[in-house]
Amino acid sequence: MKELEIGKSGIKVPFLGLGTWAIGGGSWWGDNEEQESIYTIQEAIDRGIRWIDTAPVYGLGYSEKVVGRALEGRRDKVILSTKCALEWDHETPCFHKEVDGTKVYRDLSKKSIMEDVDRSLINLKTDYIDICYTHWQSPDRALYPLEETMDALMTLKKQGKIRAIGASNVTAQDIEEYCSFGQLDVIQEKYSILTRRVEAELAPVCRQYGVSIQAYSPLEQGLLTGKVTMDTELSPGDVRNYNIWWEPGNRLKVLNMLEGWKPYCEKYNCTPGNLTIALTSEMLDGVHVLCGARKIVQVQDNVKAMKLVLEAEDIEQMKADISRVLQD
């Protein structure tokens, strides 16, 4: 199976990774059964997924702890990434948002980042993290100079606590500044066949500096799986209520597009979700695709995408179909 390098780190993995945001539960995702979550992570590893991604804020520490339990005896089989710089145990001048009644703040200071990573090492039951991302960036460089943020991450790298540095939810200028202060290997951004900001705004600067891209929400939070209909209802607190592609008019256009892709699903003996994941991996050169899952059956379906080899003519036709949806 083809493996992609993560930036200049020397770390190589298959293009598909497992995201564990939903495993964190909470009002956005609903409660999870912990043992099922553990089995889901282990199933992903057994089926060839080697990159497991989490974050402290997912369930306010819960997702990291579940991942840590799932990786006991398997830590050497995976590339593990987590994040830093979102806090809920102290206030800062930079409020981020409220998560289930808890106020979360951004703190990209060296002190806070060092503490974050130490806490994550405990939660994850490991003595090193392969990739550490800054989860969200500071809107005020005077408050948290990027040079200080990068100094913290480079120090952690020298200490052996992390192997590579990542940044999430960034601008092109952020990437350039990170690279001016040290080695940035990967960014993690929302990217799908429908959400394409990354292509024009971030991909060129990433190519310039040798920074990889890991795409999150490639299935638009389930919309592109083929399991959603116009009758699918979301609870009031569901995060997908804020996704423009889930709005009725846009949803209808997307579902019609997927209906037109049924012949491809038959040709490649796959589901719409498999097809979408494989197609996403072809949209940007070297892109890593992160798919969330909290049930074994979701993992079993997603991993089929790693074995799909789409023909160039089919890729171009599907891209044309997507363009029509985006232009309508």
Phi, psi (deg, nearest 5) at residue 130: -70, -45
Strand 102-106, strand 12-13: pairing? unpaired
Instruction: Give the span between the Cα atoms of 206 and 214, in whole angstroms.
Output: 11
pLDDT at 28: 64
pLDDT for the residue numbered 1: 64
Q: Which amino acid is at 210?
A: G
Percent of the chain, pLDDT > 90? 93
pLDDT at 95: 97
Sequence-separated (6 or more) residues with CB below 8 Å from residue 165: 131, 132, 133, 150, 153, 154, 157, 178, 182, 183, 184, 185
Residue 102 has pLDDT above 80, yes or no: yes
What are the residues whose beta carbons fall under 8 Å from the beta carbon of 90, sequence distance 6 or more? 105, 107
Q: What is the pLDDT of residues 117-161, one digit of tens each?
A: 999 999 999 999 999 999 999 999 999 999 999 999 999 999 999
Residue range 246-304, pLDDT digits in tens: 999 999 999 999 999 999 999 999 999 999 999 999 999 999 999 999 999 999 999 99
Q: What is the pTM of this model?
A: 0.95
User: Can you tell me the distance from the alpha carbon of 52 to that of 90, in angstroms, rounded to the nearest whole number?
Assistant: 28
Beta strands in the chain (DSSP E): 4-5, 12-13, 16-19, 51-53, 79-84, 86-87, 95-99, 102-106, 129-134, 162-168, 186-190, 212-216, 288-292
* CA pair distance 95, 208, nearest whole angstrom: 33
Mean per-residue pLDDT over the chain, rounded: 96
Closest CA to 299 of 24, 45, 2, 3: 45
Catalytic residue list = 58
